[in-house]
């Protein structure tokens, strides 16, 4: 009997003082404050130019000159591509000559009409021929204007896709250009941050390529919240001009909710 009591006491002492059941564990886990996976993850962003585009040829011609090298800066309206347009110039000269002949014929018919020496139909036809010649001159002048490609905005040449003395077709890409006067950042944050993030909110961004931290500020807030991830897109700009920063660099956004 004493031996049985001893075994029972040892068994009771070996039991843990408290053991949570699966139901109790689930309740405890649910009671813990939920943290968004996005909030616990590092927020990354990439520098992008404010404006960028691909310039393409509007005529079929040979490239005569590319005055700027890849990576060079340019001003708005500066020449970027010059085509060899000897043929277009000859066509314009031909159209000018045809206009002179048509205009002289119409003016002669006008004088004859005053003397009743020409019919109304012939007078109208000569007028139409003069107008047609004017349209031909205008069309050739417009075509000749396509022989130069100028910069639509100030910026830099990101990539040249054609070379001098190369013949290009209409619509063929010539170069990619970008406006790096203002560098933007796009990144995703939890939608609950909308309670304190505003346009103009200041923060810091650490750029990997330079190893430095730069000031930035929120410029725009996305128009909608993603219902699945409960996140929203923010667009920000680097607050200042830093020569070492170029488009394509990336880094970590140093932004956190204010302490309660």
Residues 18-40, buried b or exposed e (16+ Cβ, 10 A)?
Answer: eeeeeeeeeeeeeeeeeeeebee
β-pairing verdict for 212-221 and 231-238: antiparallel
Specify whether the CB–CB gap between 194 and 221 falls below 8 A.
yes
By CB atoms closer than 10 A (0-12, 13-18, 19+), residue 113 is: middle
Which tokens go with 163? 């070379």
Position 57 scores a pLDDT of 95
CATH code reported for the domain at 36-51+179-254: 2.40.30.170
Task: Please tell me the predicted confidence (pLDDT) of residue 109.
Answer: 87
The answer to whether domain 55-176 has CATH 2.40.50.100 is yes
pLDDT at 91: 93
pLDDT attached to residue 89? 93
Q: What pLDDT, on a 0 to 100 scale, did the predictor assign at position 136?
A: 94
Q: pLDDT tens-digit profile of 210-232?
A: 999 999 999 999 999 999 999 99
What 8-state DSSP symbol labels residue 33? P
Averaged pLDDT in 10-residue chunks for the chain of 260 residues = 43 41 38 48 89 94 95 95 94 94 90 85 90 94 93 95 95 95 92 92 94 94 93 93 91 84
Question: pTM for this one?
Answer: 0.70
Domain boundaries defined on the chain: 36-51+179-254, 55-176
Element (H, E) at 16: none
Q: 205: how many CB neighbours lie within 10 A of its CB?
A: 25
Dihedral pair phi/psi, residue 232, rounded to 5°:
-145, 150
The two domains 36-51+179-254 and 55-176 share their CATH topology (first three levels equal)? no
Q: What are the two backbone dihedrals, phi and then psi, of residue 198, each rounded to the nearest 5 degrees?
A: -135, 160
């Amino acid at each position: 009997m004493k031996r049985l009591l001893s075994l029972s006491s040892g068994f009771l002492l070996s039991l843990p003082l408290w053991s949570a059941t699966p139901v109790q564990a689930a309740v405890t886990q649910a009671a813990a404050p939920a943290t968004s996976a996005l909030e616990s993850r590092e927020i990354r962003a990439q520098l992008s130019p404010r404006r960028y585009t691909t310039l393409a040829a509007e005529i079929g011609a040979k490239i005569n000159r590319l005055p700027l090298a890849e990576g060079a800066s340019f001003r708005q309206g500066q020449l970027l591509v010059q085509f060899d347009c000897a043929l277009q110039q000859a066509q314009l000269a031909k159209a000018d000559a045809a206009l002179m002949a048509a205009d002289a014929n119409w003016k002669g018919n006008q004088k004859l009409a005053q003397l009743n020496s020409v019919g109304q139909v012939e007078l109208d036809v000569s007028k139409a021929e003069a107008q047609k010649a004017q349209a031909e001159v205008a069309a050739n002048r417009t075509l000749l204007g396509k022989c130069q490609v100028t910069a639509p905005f100030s910026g830099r040449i990101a990539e040249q896709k054609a070379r001098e003395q190369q013949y290009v077709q209409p619509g063929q890409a010539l170069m990619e250009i970008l406006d790096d006067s203002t560098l933007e950042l796009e990144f995703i944050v939890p939608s609950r941050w909308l309670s304190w993030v505003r346009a103009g909110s200041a923060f810091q961004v650490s750029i990997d390529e330079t190893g430095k931290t730069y000031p930035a500020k929120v410029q725009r807030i996305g128009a909608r919240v993603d219902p699945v991830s409960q996140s929203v897109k923010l667009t920000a700009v680097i607050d200042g001009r830093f020569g070492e920063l170029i488009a394509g660099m990336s880094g970590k956004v140093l932004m956190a909710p204010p302490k309660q």
